[in-house]
Chain A
Amino acid sequence: MTQSTPAIRLAGATKAFPDAGGGSFTAMRDVTFDVAPGEFVSVVGPTGCGKSTTLSLISGLEPATAGEVAVTGTPVAGIPSTVGYMFQQDAVLPWRTVRDNVALGLRYRGVSKAEAREQAQGWIARVGLDGFERYYPHQLSGGMRKRVAMAQTLITEPEIILMDEPFGALDVQTRELMQAELLRLWAGSKAAVVFVTHDLTEAIALADRVVVMTAAPATVKSIVAVDLPRPRMVDEIRLQPDFLTLYREVWHALREEVEIARARGAVRG
């Protein structure tokens, strides 16, 4: 597309963790792909292959062992302020109300309490939680807590949004609803998204490109462009013939890796 600086650049990024035996375990090896500004990229791969590690490196939560990781043209060292991250598990503060949770990122950035709360109110409305400002997270359903997390992530207006199976723990109907909400909110931003999931339907329905990872250590197996028109209706798009063709293509790339991962799992188990 454009020749401008990519929002995210991974070039030969490798991550090894020390293991219990004193050796090291390579979670990802030689991962290379770029994400353009405003682009939505899904990452799929067999269970436990190290997809999430990619996000850890981009977010700066973990340093890369080797290779290059850059965000908006700057090599990652520490946590870039332009990054938002939505986790698989509940990560909102249980001891803060919805409003204070949403306002958190602004408060950390030194915005005054009144100003932060006012902005939070707007985001609470945007994610459909009007009337729940004073609730604590444990008083909300799983889907509502995800909405809080979404508002909490988006309020800082990140240029890059990292999502690690954010809807994995939700039931199917809530998940589809949240996918639609995500697309709607993302359309209003210019953020680049990296969305890790093991659900191919979700990956294709949301993304501009799908990155297929190999079994551990993870590396890029293939990248499939999803040229379905936007705006998309996530609950209908999967019934289209184009979608099925894409699904088949991604599944073919993935199947081999899933089988490898399964065989290893069987040996270990």
Chain B
Amino acid sequence: MAEYPAVDLAVVAEVTRAPVMTTADIEVPAFRRRRRLGVYAGRVALVALWLGSWELASTYWIDPFFYSKPSEIAHKLVDWFTNGTSYGSIWEQISATLQEAVYGFILGAVVGVLLGVILGRARYLADVLAPFIKAANAIPRIVLATIFVIWFGFGMSSKVATAFVLVFFGVFFNAFQGAREVPRVIDDNARILGASRLQMMRTVVLPSATTWILASLHTAFGFALIGAIVGEYTGADKGLGMLIAHSQGTFDSPGIYAAMIIMTVLALLAEGLLTAIERRLTKWQPR
């Protein structure tokens, strides 16, 4: 009789554990892992096919003077990272471009979010400013890069300005929309609970618009890089855009491609960082 409870407990434990240990649960991770490996293998194969056919084509049929060659590009990259560019270390160029992009991105995002949520909540102001904002948005903003070089010179500020205008509008329109889409009942509830205008902004409007704002930030950093590079391309003494402009001037097509690859890597790294931040900021959402 004394042993009875022990047996009983074991049975209970077995029973309660049983539903967790179904065959489906054991097989799913293995299946998933196999599938993920398959996906990676497919990607590697695709890159190999692409680079291989390019290398082949430029060796036998097309002119590598115009289209370059993966091996030459790789050589160029190695050369840049070991011996540096003709304008100094490659890291100097990367850091110049990154700084311009990051400053432009932060300025554009902050101003875009602030103006967006404020106008999103202030109907009258939004109605007054709407045509002007639409007109400003319709200007081909890349052209502004030229004007900014005239205004701010060849230094960093003209590139930051270009990145800023590219980032600002995307973020602004999303923040504006996000601020308008606060569910009515949540808005009413917070007002009943006694939220002041400022508290409303901080605790209701901004978090509610977060999803919209974050969605725009992903594309915005890409725009910031484009802004910095176009700015440099227009006129600069350092940066990746300047490297491209220089490579173009000296008919060095591997240089153009190599710079493109570096830019792509930078954009992907920034994307990864933004995704991590996004997860942190939206941990309240069901996933």
A residues with a Cβ closer than 8 A to B are: 59, 61, 79, 81, 83-85, 87, 89-96, 104-105, 107-109, 136, 138-139, 152, 156
B203 within 8 A of A: yes
B210:A95 contact, CB within 8 angstroms: yes
9 smallest CB-CB distances across A and B, nearest first, come from A91-B189, A108-B194, A105-B193, A95-B207, A95-B284, A138-B286, A85-B192, A136-B284, A91-B185
Q: Chain B contacts of A108 at CB under 8 A?
A: 190, 193-196, 199
Could you count the A-B residue pairs with CB atoms below 8 Å apart for me: how many are there? Answer: 59
Main secondary structure of the interface of B (DSSP, over half): helix
Query: Which residues of B in the span 216-243 have a Cβ within 8 Å of any Cβ on A?
Result: none
With A79-B192, A81-B194 given, name 16 new contacts (CB 8 A).
A59-B192, A61-B191, A79-B191, A87-B185, A90-B185, A92-B189, A95-B207, A95-B208, A95-B210, A96-B203, A104-B193, A105-B194, A108-B194, A136-B283, A138-B286, A156-B193
Q: How far is the CA of A148 from the CA of B55 in the complex (A)?
A: 64
CB distance from B267 to the nearest CB of A (A): 29
> Which residue of B has the minimal Cβ distance to A84?
B192
Whether the pair B204, A93 counts as a contact (CB closer than 8 A) is yes
For the complex, give the distance between the alpha carbons of A84 and B284 in Å: 25
Which residue numbers of B lie inside 8 Å of A, CB to CB? Answer: 183, 185-186, 188-196, 199, 203-204, 207-208, 210, 283-286
Chain A residue numbers with a CB within 8 Å of B199 are: 107-108
Bound complex: CA A139 to CA B284 (Å): 9
A191 to B199, CA, bound (A): 27
Residues of A within 8 A of B203 (CB): 93, 96, 104
- Whether A93 pairs with B196 at a CB distance below 8 angstroms is no
Q: Select one of B183, B189, B194, B283 contacting A156, CB under 8 A.
A: B194
Q: Name the CB-closest residue of A to B194.
A: A108
* Bound Cα distance A87, B190 (Å): 11
Contact across chains for A61 and B188 when beta carbons are under 8 A apart: yes
Residue on B nearest A138 in the bound complex, by CB: B286
Neighbouring B residues of A61 by C-beta, 8 Å: 188, 191-192
CA–CA, A87 and B192, complex, Å: 11
Are the CB atoms of B188 and A91 closer together than 8 Å?
A: yes
Contact yes or no, A138 B193, CB < 8 A: no
Cα separation A221 to B270 with both chains bound (whole Å): 65
A-side contacts of B190, CB under 8 Å:
93, 104, 108
Q: List 29 A-B contacts (CB under 8 A).
A: A61-B188, A61-B192, A79-B191, A79-B192, A81-B194, A83-B192, A84-B192, A85-B188, A85-B189, A87-B185, A87-B189, A89-B183, A93-B186, A93-B204, A93-B207, A94-B284, A95-B207, A95-B208, A95-B210, A95-B284, A96-B203, A96-B284, A104-B193, A105-B193, A105-B194, A107-B199, A108-B190, A152-B193, A156-B194
B208 neighbours in A (Cβ, 8 Å):
95
Distance in angstroms between the alpha carbons of A104 and B199 in the assembled complex: 10
Select the residue from B192, B195, B203 with max chain A CB neighbours within 10 A: B192
Task: List, in ascending order, chain A residues with CB within 8 A of B194's CB.
Answer: 79, 81, 105, 108-109, 156
> Chain B contacts of A105 at CB under 8 A?
193-194
Q: Could you say which residues of chain B place their CB within 8 Å of the CB of A84? A: 192
Complex interface: chain A residues within 8 A of B191 (CB): 61, 79
Contacts of A107 in B (CB 8 A): 199
- Pair A87/B188 contact, Cβ less than 8 Å: yes
Complex: A79 Cα to B191 Cα, angstroms:
8
Residue of A nearest to B208 (CB): A95
- Chain B contacts for A109, CB-based, 8 A: 194
Q: How far is the CA of A105 from the CA of B284 in the complex (A)?
A: 20
Q: Which of A59, A93, A96, A105 has the most CB of B within 10 A?
A: A93
How many angstroms between the C-alpha atoms of A93 and B190 in the bound complex?
A: 9
Q: Are A138 and B189 in contact (CB under 8 A)?
A: no
Residue numbers in A under 8 Å from B284 (CB-CB): 94-96, 136, 138
